[in-house]
Amino acid sequence: MSAPLNRTEARKETEKLRAEIERHNRLYYVEAAPEISDRDYDALLKRLEALETQFPELATPDSPTRRVGGEPLKGFENVRHTVPMISLANTYNKEELVEFDGRVKKLLKETPYSYVLEPKIDGVAISLRYENGLLVRAVTRGDGTTGDDVTANVRTIKSIPLRLSKVDEASSLVKSGRDAASTIPAVLEVRGEVYMTRKGFAALNEERQEAGLEPFANPRNACAGSLKQLDPKIVAARPLDALFYGLGECSADFATHQEMLNALAHYGLRITPKHWPCPEISEVLEKLDVLQNMRHDFPFEMDGGVIKVNQRDLYEPLGSTAKSPRWAVAYKYEPEQAETLLKEITIQIGRTGVLTPVAELEPVQLAGTVVKRATLHNEDEIKRKDIRVGDRVIVEKAGEIIPAVVRVVTEKRTGKEKPFDMQAACKALGINPVKIEGEVAWRIDDLHHPAMLKRWLTHFASRNGMDIEGLGESIVELLVDAGLVKGPADLYDLKKQQLLGLEGFKEKKAQNLIDGIEASKSRPFDRILFALGIRHVGSGSARVLAQNFPNIGKLMTADVQTLEELRDIGPVVGKSICDFFQTSENRKLIERLQAAGVNFEQTVQAASDEFAGLTFVLTGTMESMSRDEAGEQIRARGGSVSSSVSKNTSYVVAGEKAGSKLTKAEELGIKVLDEAAFLKLLGGKPEQKKKTGQIDMF
């Protein structure tokens, strides 16, 4: 057993750990080139937390441990910007951009200039102030002159460095000469956007609806609402990110906007994933079309392009109007919308019993897909927009993911449209809806109501749950309607003879289902945790729980405080887990499942390291297995699965109808495997092992 550290030794180790953790944060979030696994990263962070607990005086404001969020705030302090955050003038047509260029040319006379085009991020404008490299304040735009101090909340965003850093001169971010700032400025106010990722927005809204809460209208609203939370721990649980593109007060000088962007990346700040230097306005117009075609490739909402004069020394002679600078302009794309007929409103039952009205639409092409259904969120939303069955409606994709009805085309009403009664529609389905105080959603309060039970069992048997072969929606329907199953535990009491009495079941089909149910008993611990249908617990958080608790007994006795301190859990999920296990009915369910032989322990298996250090990206569809199954095969061999292609990707596995990921792989020269080659690789050794780690970036 090693001797305990003294204060001097502890200080040295904490400083070393902070530097190492921040280096890994930079590699992951900025350079997309991580060197260690999530598990190894967590071990470093836990060691630092232990030292700071043992020696509280060594904890610093820039410590990576502060990202989980501190005590709730009493309110937000107003802060005056040292340099006003004025907004850009907007235009929606290219003729006005040509006029903008004409004004620039007139003001500059014979002085040469060029432009830089960037994506226009639809987020919340933010200003970060660094002093001697340390983040000291984060302020919202507010009215442009004064904003709110949201430093405590911004500290929880993992991609924002708490201390600026410089990278090694060999880094891919360092170009040459002035492109790489040699020293960190004593004062640096950097401006950018905090945004919520599209995937994160969709998941958050699903969680809110399952909890009976009002969903956010779009990612920007969700982001703004998150930054204004008084409890930083809630913010830490939100899928927020940030990109930077401008300066306020700064003690350094940059000749061009492009040079400034390179310097920001050099300091460890994330910049827009794509920007174009354009010698003339004609090239700007061309690149705007290229950018528009890329809008679905970004993880953030992008509603246009920003055009800036590249030469920063020309900003002063160009000047500003009372509202916006004369050296920059925003070009906004028209939102992608479509008009169609709302044929019917149906009720969708969530896995936690939330009843969501859904618009059944005349199929219409929108944002590259055919839309047939759109969420109406809740009864209040229908009343607010005065949506009626038979209306002509305008639909768009909120966050370009979830189709939603934006408004009714009231001028096309014929008088035959019918108002919708949520409660009557529920009762027509045999559902007696209830509304919990403080919630906007109606829900089924009876888990054993046939409609709810069918939804619950389908979730239980799903691929990410117990993955019961042959137990799809139609079979669940048969079992429930026949009265054979009244809860998940009843599945394990089924006998083949009972199944043979059901329509469509013969000897082989009945035996296959019995075998599938039996096989599900040995699923990994995280699968049953997801399958139970605990509110807010998805497959990701189920994995976190299984990694931190060796068995169900330990988890059932955990308190909220212990749970909310876990990575990706937080107070809301923690409370939901505790509430679930404190219910006597749920505890009886666990007992019955345990008695049936279902695995409720984290089993440690000797994992193969065959794919250690390799990162795979999966795209398209395969005949032999799903993406989830392919991912499991890769992880079982020690590999990592990423959602996006980068220079650090080892292989892209491309099935049928592979999309933009295949194109990017070919551009970067990444090795592409078809299904046959991938299956061959699973049975043998990879040709080459690149030390990369897991990537989950743009």
Residue positions annotated with a catalytic role: 120
State the DSSP code for 519: H
Q: Are 98 and 78 in contact (CB under 8 A)?
A: no
Torsion of CA 440, 442, 445, 447, to 10 degrees: -110
Report the phi/psi class of residue 212: left, alpha or beta, with left for phi > 0 and alpha for psi in -120 to 50.
left
Q: Which residues contact 105 (CB under 8 A, 6 or more apart)?
A: none
C-alpha span between 133 and 164 (Å, rounded): 5
Residue 633: CB atoms within 10 A of its CB come to: 18
Instruction: Scan for tokens 């679930």, then name that residue.
Output: 580
Cα–Cα distance for residue pair 109/416, rounded to 1 Å: 63
For residue 280, CA distances in Å to 40, 116, 285, 324, 576 come to: 48, 10, 9, 22, 57
What are 10's two structure tokens?
């502890």
Q: How many CB atoms are located within 10 Å of the residue 417 CB? A: 18
DSSP letter at 296?
T
Q: DSSP code of 502?
A: S
Distance CA 422, CA 377 (A): 12
DSSP assignments along 88-123, one per residue: PPEESSHHHHHHHHHHHHHHHTT----EEEEEEE-S
DSSP H or E stretch at residue 241: strand 240-250
Going by C-alpha positions, the residue among 410, 632, 613 that lies closest to residue 539 is 632
In sequence order, the 6+-apart residues with CB closer than 8 A to the CB of 8 are none
The vertex-121 CA angle with 69 and 98, nearest 5°, equals 155
Closest among 207, 234, 202, 230 to 218, alpha carbons compared = 202
